[in-house]
Structure 1
Amino acid sequence: MKKIVIYFSASGITEKRARELAAVTGSDIQAIVPAQRYSLADLDWTNQKSRSYQENLDDAVRPALEHGNMNLAGYDRIYLGFPIWWGIAPKIINTFVESNDLSNKEIVVFATSGGSGLQTAVKTLQKQYPALDIKAGKLLNHSVKSDII
């Protein structure tokens, strides 16, 4: 089974966990990069005018990607990682899912979070994309060890 870790990380925390996960699982790795990077001000969830706050309010928002679709042919399992924002995946994850052919792939979601669990984010993605095989992985707030598999 060919595997890849695909992740979005605005602050570097999710990237660190993604790299650890890729090493432990023997997976390739690829970042989801926004066309317009998030600044610290953009990430200020306490500021109702911040970019991340405003994106969260609009279900139709799809932040542009630096690189459109990825060549995922040949991959059977995708570990999809992101920081949880307001209990769900950041909207850039929707952009990624809608920009790529993820049919016939097992998508295992992992995340980092300062307070939210993983289940709401996974259930939201499953509801948004019922044709995809999306499964709950783990919340990776600490170093990834070999027992993750």
Structure 2
Amino acid sequence: MKKVVAYFSASGTTAEKAKALAKIAGADLKEIVPKEKYTSRDLNWMDKKSRSSLESADEDCRPAIEGGAFNLSGYDRVYIGFPIWWYTAPRVIQSFIETNDLSGKEIYLFATSGGSDAAKALSDMKKLYPTLSFMGASLLNGPVTKDIGG
């Protein structure tokens, strides 16, 4: 089974977990990079007018991704990682899902968070993309010690 870990990391925390997971799972690694990088001001969740707050509130928001679609044709399993924003995945994850053909692939979500779990993100993704095979979601705040895909 060929695997890939695709991740978005705003501050480096999720990147660290993605790299560890890729190593343990024997997966390739691809970074989801927004065309417009997030600044610390953009990430200020206390500011209702910050970019991340405005994007989270806008269900139609799909931030552009640097380089467009990835070539995922050879992969059977895709791990998608992100920080939890407002109890779910950032809108750039929806951009990634909608830009790439994930049909027929096992999809495992993983997240980092200061206080939320990944359950709502999984529920949201299953609701938004009912034809895709979301197999589970894990919160990776501690050391990554095993392949979350089993």
Where structure 2 has 5 or more consecutive residues not aligned to the other structure, the ranges are none
For 1:146, give the aligned amino acid: K
Aligned-residue Cα RMSD (Å) equals 1.0
- For residues 121 and 113 of structure 1, the distance between their equivalents in structure 2, rounded to whole angstroms, comes to 12
Deviation at 1:146, TM superposition (A): 3.5
- Equivalent residue number for residue 2 of structure 1: 2
Map 1:85-100 → 2, pairs under 5 A: 85-100=85-100
- For residues 114 and 86 of structure 1, the distance between their equivalents in structure 2, rounded to whole angstroms, comes to 11
- For residues 3 and 63 of structure 1, the distance between their equivalents in structure 2, rounded to whole angstroms, comes to 25
Where structure 1 has 5 or more consecutive residues not aligned to the other structure, the ranges are none
- For residues 104 and 79 of structure 2, the distance between their equivalents in structure 1, rounded to whole angstroms, comes to 14
- Equivalent residue number for residue 55 of structure 1: 55
Verify the 8 A CA contact 2:25 2:147 in the aligned structure 1: no
- For residues 49 and 62 of structure 2, the distance between their equivalents in structure 1, rounded to whole angstroms, comes to 17
- For residues 54 and 146 of structure 2, the distance between their equivalents in structure 1, rounded to whole angstroms, comes to 38
Deviation at 1:137, TM superposition (A): 2.9
> Sequence identity of aligned pairs in percent?
52
Deviation at 1:145, TM superposition (A): 1.1
Deviation at 1:147, TM superposition (A): 6.8
SS of equivalent residue, structure 1 residue 136: strand
- For residues 42 and 147 of structure 2, the distance between their equivalents in structure 1, rounded to whole angstroms, comes to 35
Verify the 8 A CA contact 1:118 1:136 in the aligned structure 2: no
Task: Give CA deviations for 1:59-99 in whole Å, capped at 9, x if unaligned.
Answer: 00000111100000110000111001000100000000000
Map 1:75-94 → 2, pairs under 5 A: 75-94=75-94
- Equivalent residue number for residue 140 of structure 2: 140
Moved over 6 A (4+): none
- Equivalent residue number for residue 45 of structure 1: 45
Give the TM-score taking structure 1 as reference length.
Answer: 0.97
Map 1:8-23 → 2, pairs under 5 A: 8-23=8-23
SS of equivalent residue, structure 2 residue 40: coil
Map 1:102-117 → 2, pairs under 5 A: 102-117=102-117
Task: Give CA deviations for 1:103-127 in whole Å, capped at 9, x if unaligned.
Answer: 0000001100111111111000000
Number of residue pairs the alignment of both structures matches: 149
Map 1:58-73 → 2, pairs under 5 A: 58-73=58-73
Give the TM-score taking structure 2 as reference length.
Answer: 0.97
